[in-house]
Amino acid sequence: MTETAGDDPPVDRAPIFKAPIFKDGEADGRYTPEWFANRALIYGVLILWAFICLFPIYWTISTSFKIAPDVMKGNMLPWYDYDPAWLGWRSLGLSPDTIGSESTVREEFFKRFVNSTITALASSTLAVLLGSLAAYGLSRFDYRWAWMKNDDISFFFLSQLILPPVVLALPILVLYRELGLLDTRIGLILLYTLSVLPIVIWIMRDQFAGIPTELEEAAMVDGLGAWGAFFTIILPIALPGMVAAFILSLVLTWNEYFFAALLTSTHANTLPVMVASQTGSQGISWWSMAALSTAAILPLIVIGVFLERFIIKGMAAGAVK
């Protein structure tokens, strides 16, 4: 991949519609009504879709500051048609007046939060580590194991993507029960690593394929081994790709629900499991659910806003060859 989606196209690029390539006379340089209509249409659609994307997030955050009548009346604008209250956050123990006091809900929330953080970080790290090494090896050396060659081994790794989690879920459940790994973070970390590994290999293979082999050849002539060349020469170059793979894995593992719901019960629950269990038991306390959902999605919104470049880079890998 030479160009990522994160790069803005050059400024001197002609508009995709009604673009005069040759400016022969005055008339070609002028803005026509047709041009304005086109612009209005484009921005109209863009703004509409941005609204569709952002409104649910706005709705959730604003609901966490509402009290019951505001929710029932469907008030939407803070200070204009409802007064923000800390009701939702108080029920989580996170409002200014309750933050200092003891709160079992807050403790519960933090426990889940820590579980989610640890499992997501650990499994992403492990996946990037294993996946980068494998992708590097497959892009540089010839392997032969039984009848499998490089392409077959690559396919073996990538084919894991097709495997639906439900196929592994029940056998793993039984195995974990025997191994005493049920309801532990390690159990979840192993499974999450497995589920993002193909994606990491997919991204990293693309990264390494873009790095010329002459670099390592030069390093090896200078006396470095395969691993030395990898760590000193290749790793720094491939680092942006690794960050992209890491963040994409982070998003996927943070949001994972299916395995977490099946394999954890009291100790290793992650945030999505907590959110899901609340919807069942107390369906109508909108504000506290909204506060909980906000707290669960906020870390990823922050990542999305600030590290958008890497996420796009990760997803664009493999799209363009």
Partner 1 sequence: MSNSAHLHVVTSDNIGPARIRLGKGLIWGSAALLGLVALAQTSTSFGWFDFGFTSWRPTLYAFCLWATALCWAQVLIRGEHGKRALFVLPAALFVISLTVFPLLFGLIIAFSSWNLSSPDGRQFNDVQNLVQMWNDPFYWNAMGNMVWYVLAIIVEYAIAFGLALLLNAQISARKFFRVAFLLPLMLSPVAVSWMVGKSMLEARFGPIARLARFLGWEDPSFFSSPIMAKLTIMIMDAWTFIPFMMIMLLAGLQAIPKELTEASRVDGATGWRSFWEVTFPLMLPVSITAVMIRIIFKLKLADIVINVTSGGPGGATDTVTSFIFREYRERSNVGYGTMLAMVYLVLIVIFMTILMKLAARYARPRT
Considering only residues 215-274, where is the footprint of partner 1 by CB under 8 A?
A: 216-217, 220, 225-227, 230, 251, 254-255, 257-258, 261-262, 271-273
Q: Does 152 bind partner 1 (CB under 8 A)?
A: no
Out of 28, 177, 239, 282, point to the residue binding partner 1 (CB under 8 A): 177
Q: Does 33 bind partner 1 (CB under 8 A)?
A: no
Nearer to partner 1, 16 or 101 (CB): 16
Q: Please return the burial class of 67, using the count of CB atoms within 10 Å of its CB with bins 0-12, 13-18 and 19+.
A: middle
Q: What is the smallest separation between the CB atom of 191 and partner 1, expressed in angstroms?
A: 7
- The CA-based angle 196-250-118, given to 5 degrees, is 105
Q: Does 141 bind partner 1 (CB under 8 A)?
A: yes
DSSP 8-state symbol, 314: H
Q: Does 167 bind partner 1 (CB under 8 A)?
A: yes
Q: Does 31 bind partner 1 (CB under 8 A)?
A: no
Return d(Cα 174, Cα 124) in angstroms, integer: 25
149 by DSSP, 3-state: which? strand
Q: What is the smallest separation between the CB atom of 189 and partner 1, expressed in angstroms?
A: 11
Q: Does 119 bind partner 1 (CB under 8 A)?
A: no
Other Cβ atoms closer than 10 A to 32: 11
Nearest to 158 by CA among 166, 170, 169, 150: 150
Cα 27 to the chain's mean position, in Å? 48
- Write the DSSP assignment of 30-47 as a string of letters: SPPHHHHHHHHHHHHHHH
Q: Does 201 bind partner 1 (CB under 8 A)?
A: yes
β-sheet bridge partners, residue 317 = 320
Q: Does 28 bind partner 1 (CB under 8 A)?
A: no
Distances (CA, A) of 206 to 77, 157, 173: 46, 14, 34
Q: Does 164 bind partner 1 (CB under 8 A)?
A: yes
Nearer to partner 1, 33 or 100 (CB): 33
With contacts defined by CB under 8 A, name the span among 25-33, 79-87, 97-105, 297-305 that binds partner 1: 297-305
Q: Does 316 bind partner 1 (CB under 8 A)?
A: yes
Nearer to partner 1, 100 or 141 (CB): 141
Q: How many residues bind partner 1 (CB under 8 A)?
A: 121
Q: Does 88 bind partner 1 (CB under 8 A)?
A: no
β-sheet bridge partners, residue 320 = 317
